[in-house]
Amino acid sequence: MPSYTVTVATGSQWFAGTDDYIYLSLVGSAGCSEKHLLDKPFYNDFERGAVDSYEVIVDEELGDIHLIKIEKRKYWLHDDWYLKYITLKTPYGDYMEFPCYRWISGEGELVLRDGRARLSRDDQICVLKQHRRKELETRQKQYRWTEWNPGFPLSIDAKCHKDLPRDIQFDSEKGVDFVLNYSKATSHGVGVHTKHEGELRWKGLFYSQLSEETLHPSAAALALQVASAFPEACSNLHF
Ligand SMILES: [Ca+2]
């Protein structure tokens, strides 16, 4: 029976790994495979920064592989996963790459096509045309504008940063790094003489950000993070 080697790379940022169940299906020109659970015995799969390989044996010839379908199912708690890419070595020795570089949240599914650049007019295969259309429709739902008046866009349609798609939210690692840098700057002095002076300069940064008519969601998220971590320093700020 044909055997494929599937290699899965998980992101290296904080919280990128998952303990959820990950299933994979192959969609080829001659048929689709059953879904396979990617799991190695006595091994913690899909941890942060890991590159894990699995052998996927299918029942029949699949022909040229067009798409890879990934399904993520809950194991214990909600556990987002950042998938960097999947590579595939076919039974005929061909090597294919399927870039992702996206978060899969909750019990999500994702369909990936190989990483070769291709214009829409060059998609001759029906499943690839359908895939491109679905991706476009999904993005149109995720990235949309509120209207100031009919026909006049105002800002991105989100009340807070958590309403934004996971992939464009302010990165949690950068948020923590920002807070730690703030702590160092105010505790040890970076171009300032006292902690109080550092805090005053920090407040000035936020006041200048908040004076903008429309605050960028990332800046608002950041400000809230710092305010919650250092309530005394930000006691005069209102969000
Ligand atoms: Ca794991």
What are the structural domain ranges in the chain? 3-115, 164-229
**How many residues can be counted in the chain?**
239
79 is in an annotated binding site: yes
CA 87 to centroid of ligand 1, rounded, Å: 19
User: How far does the centroid of ligand 1 lie from the alpha carbon of residue 230, in Å?
Assistant: 33
CA–centroid distance, residue 56 to ligand 1 (Å): 19
Q: Is 17 annotated as a binding residue?
A: yes
Using the mean position of ligand 1's atoms as its centre, give its distance from the Cα of residue 6 in Å.
Answer: 17
Which pLDDT score, from 0 to 100, does residue 38 have? 97
Mean pLDDT, range 20-47, rounded to an integer: 96
User: Is the predicted pLDDT of residue 232 greater than 60, yes or no?
Assistant: no
Strand locations in the chain (E): 3-10, 21-28, 31-32, 36-37, 51-57, 65-73, 81-89, 95-104, 109-113, 145-149, 152-156
CB 4 within 8 A of CB 88: yes
Q: Which range scores top for mean pLDDT: 24-28, 76-80, 198-202, 208-212?
A: 24-28
Query: Is 198 annotated to bind ligand?
Result: no
- What's the whole-model pTM score? 0.71
64 belongs to an annotated ligand binding site = no
3-115 — its CATH code?
2.60.60.20
Ligand 1 centre to CA of 18 (Å) is 5
